[in-house]
Amino acid sequence: MKKGRVTIIDIARELSIAPSTVSRALKDHPALKKETKDAVRALAKKLDYQPNLLALNLLQKKSNTIGVIVPEITSHFFSAIITGIQDVIGDSEYNIMICLSNESYEEEAVIIKKLLKIQVDGVLVSPTSETKNFDHFRTLQKNDIPVVVFDRDCPGLEADKVLVDDYAGAFQAVEYLIKSGCTKIAHLGGPLNLSTTKHRLQGYLDALENADIPIRKEYIEHVPGFSHDDGLKPAERLLKLEDLPDAIFAMNDNIAISAMHIARKMALKIPDDISIVGFDDEPHSSYFRPSLSTVWQPVYSLGMLSARIILHRLNDKGPQKNFRQEVFKPELVLRASSRECASRKNDKVKL
Partner DNA sequence: TTGTACGCGTTATCAT
Partner DNA sequence: ATGATAACGCGTACAA
- Residues within the interface to DNA (CB under 7 A): 4-5, 7-9, 16-21, 23-24, 26-27, 29, 31-33, 35-36, 49-52, 54-56, 58-59, 61
User: Which partner in DNA, a copy of itself, none is near 179 (CB below 5 to 8 A by kind)?
Assistant: none
Of these, 4, 156, 318, 319, which contacts a copy of itself (CB under 8 A)? 4
C-alpha 143 chain-centroid distance: 24
109 contacts which partner out of a copy of itself, DNA, none, CB within 5 to 8 A by kind? none
Can you tell me whether residue 341 is helix, strand or coil? coil
**Does residue 351 touch a copy of itself according to CB under 8 A?**
no
139 lies in the site for a copy of itself, by CB under 8 A: no
CB 167 within 8 A of CB 199: yes
Residue 72 binds which of DNA, a copy of itself, none (CB < 5-8 A, kind-dependent): a copy of itself
Q: Is 214 in the site for a copy of itself (CB under 8 A)?
A: no
Q: How far apart are CA 302 and CA 87, in angstroms?
A: 12
Q: At its nearest, how many Å lie between a copy of itself and the CB of residue 77?
A: 10
Give yes or no for residue 104 binding a copy of itself (CB under 8 A): no
Q: Which does 9 bind (CB under 5 to 8 A by kind): DNA, a copy of itself, none?
A: DNA
In the region spanning residues 151 to 210, those forming contacts with a copy of itself, defined by CB under 8 A, are none
Residue 228 contacts which entry, a copy of itself, DNA, none (Cβ below 5-8 A, type-dependent): a copy of itself
Sites for a copy of itself among residues 243-262 (CB under 8 A): 254, 257-258, 260-261
The amino acid sitting at 314 is L
Question: What's the number of CA atoms in the CB half-sphere (13 Å) around residue 188?
Answer: 35
Which 262-281 positions form the footprint of a copy of itself (CB under 8 A)? Answer: 264
> Among candidates 291, 287, 298, which has minimal Cα distance to 275?
291
Binding mask 29-58 for a copy of itself (x = CB under 8 A): ---------------------x-xxxx-xx
CB under 8 A, 24+ apart: contacts of 97-101 = 97/65, 97/66, 97/67, 97/68, 98/68, 98/70, 98/73, 99/67, 99/68, 99/69, 99/70, 100/69, 100/70, 100/71, 100/72, 100/73, 101/69, 101/70, 101/71, 101/127, 101/128
3-state secondary structure 254-289: HHHHHHHHHHHHCCCCCCCCCEEECCECCHHHHHCC
Stretch 285-324 residues interacting with a copy of itself (CB under 8 A): 287-289
Q: Which residues contact 127 (CB under 8 A, 6 or more apart)?
A: 69, 71, 101, 108, 134, 137, 149, 152, 154
Q: Which of 25, 66, 69, 82 binds a copy of itself (CB under 8 A)?
A: 82
- Residue placing its CB nearer to DNA in the complex, 30 or 318: 30
Using alpha carbons, select from 281, 251, 265 the residue that is nearest to residue 351.
281
| CA–CA distance, 282 with 302 (Å, rounded to integer) | 15
CB of 18 to DNA, least distance (A): 3
Distance CA 291, CA 314 (A): 43
Rounded to the nearest 10°, the torsion over CA 153, 156, 161, 163 is: 30
- If one asks whether residue 83 binds a copy of itself (CB under 8 A), the answer comes out as yes
Nearer to a copy of itself, 258 or 297 (CB): 258
Q: How far is the CB of 174 from a copy of itself (least distance, A)?
A: 24
Residues interacting with a copy of itself, by CB under 8 A? Answer: 4, 50, 52-55, 57-58, 61-63, 72-74, 76, 79-80, 82-83, 86, 95-100, 114, 116-119, 227-228, 254, 257-258, 260-261, 264, 282-284, 287-289
